[in-house]
Amino acid sequence: MSGGRSIQAGSWDLHLSRARSFRAEVMALPEVTSRRISIHDGLEVGVILKGGTDIWYDDFTACLEPGDVWMVAVWEPHGWRVRVPGTEQIVVAFLPELIDEGALRNADWSSLFALRPADRPGVGDPSTREAALRIGAELRAEISNRHSGWETAVRLDLMRLLFTVGRRALHSTTARDRGRRGSHSFARITPALELVHARPVSRVTLGEAAGACGLSPAHFSRIFQGTTGLSFGRFQLRAHLTYAAHLLLTSELKVDAIAAEAGFVDGSHLHRSFVNQYGTTPGQYRRQSREGADTAVEAPGRTIS
């Protein structure tokens, strides 16, 4: 992967990544950590090998234990905090094309990421948990050793992990539903994603996004919603909020100036959108990120274990 940048400020660690293929990490975390925020323009899958981590989204928090798996959609703001010393986890951030749709041709794997975070499949029984741990151990070995062909091994293990955890969800739909969603391929909307990524200041119109993908606006909207679980407008708002958060952490610009830089009408527009997305105002977000470890506002939501 290239083009990633990590910004640390107080208790916040905002990572904005641009995955060229994939980024695979074995994260050995000996101590409890403060809240971290991550945002990727690729997908993310992780598995806990030992210890425990809290993962939170807009309105949902999951308390993960060994064998648990999490999924993050494109440019989906999410946070994590290690709550058990000695936690070890595998994280793979990747572009959708890394997954061979031919190998999973009877399973619409991208639909797993389009679900609401609370509805995404998890480890529901001991046998699935054991299987996830085995695959996680294999990923750890491949990522750590990096023997010849390790990239292919990671790709295959990732497909196995997605299929193992999402098997029931992937095959619970009718053939008709599966056929209707078959065209919801990330590859078809990738030009629109790249267009949004390239224009953090100015808004991309629905017509421009559809045209970049060679689709009519109506057809593009259906595919985009089915693939990402979001309307194009909502997705683009998320992307601009990501850029605004980046500016809040890395510059001394006032909120009105950041609003202009990030494509918002004015500071009030950014303020309202930021509160809806992050549960805190831009000023609080900046201040708390610079004040130290445990002052970050907790995201609202419910917890599963």
Quick: pLDDT tens for 121-160: 999 899 999 999 999 999 999 999 999 999 999 999 999 9
Do 96 and 189 reside in the same domain of the chain?
no
Tokens of 21: 């293929």
Do 99 and 203 reside in the same domain of the chain?
no
Burial (CB < 10 A; 0-12, 13-18, 19+), residue 300, is exposed
Lowest mean pLDDT among 70-74, 127-131, 150-154, 283-287: 283-287
Average pLDDT value for the chain:
80
The answer to the question of residue 298 being in a domain is no
Name the pLDDT band for 18 (thresholds 50, 70, 90). very low
User: CATH code at 216?
Assistant: 1.10.10.60
Do 120 and 198 reside in the same domain of the chain?
no
Quick: pLDDT tens for 187-222: 788 889 888 878 878 889 999 999 999 999 999 999
pLDDT at 178: 41
Name the pLDDT band for 104 (thresholds 50, 70, 90). low
Asked whether residue 301 carries a pLDDT value surpassing 60, the answer given is no
Do 87 and 146 reside in the same domain of the chain?
yes
Do 32 and 133 reside in the same domain of the chain?
yes
Asked whether residue 298 carries a pLDDT value surpassing 50, the answer given is no
Among 163, 179, 195, the domain-final residue is 179
The answer to the question of residue 271 being in a domain is yes
pLDDT at 187: 76
Among 137, 154, 179, the domain-final residue is 179
For the question of whether the overall pTM of this predicted structure is more than 0.75, the answer is: no
pLDDT at 78: 82
Among 179, 198, 228, the domain-final residue is 179
Do 111 and 207 reside in the same domain of the chain?
no
Tokens of 94: 């990747």
Which domain range does residue 21 map to?
5-179
3-state secondary structure the chain: CCCCEEEEECCEEEEEECCCCEEEEEEEECCCCCCEEEEECCEEEEEEEECCEEEECCCEEEEECCCCEEEECCCCCEEEEECCCCEEEEEEEECHHHCCCCCCCCCCCCHHHHCCHHHCCCCCCHHHHHHHHHHHHHHHHHHHHCCCCHHHHHHHHHHHHHHHHHHHHHCCCCHHHHHHHCCCCHHHHHHHHHHHHHCCCCCCCHHHHHHHCCCCHHHHHHHHHHHHCCCHHHHHHHHHHHHHHHHHHHCCCCHHHHHHHCCCCCHHHHHHHHHHHHCCCHHHHHHHHHHCCCCCCCCCCEEEC
pLDDT at 284: 87
Name the pLDDT band for 290 (thresholds 50, 70, 90). low
Do 211 and 252 reside in the same domain of the chain?
yes
Asked whether residue 185 carries a pLDDT value surpassing 70, the answer given is no
Quick: pLDDT tens for 160-178: 999 999 987 776 653 334 4
- How many domains does one find in the chain? 2
Asked whether residue 238 carries a pLDDT value surpassing 60, the answer given is yes
User: CATH code at 29?
Assistant: 2.60.120.280
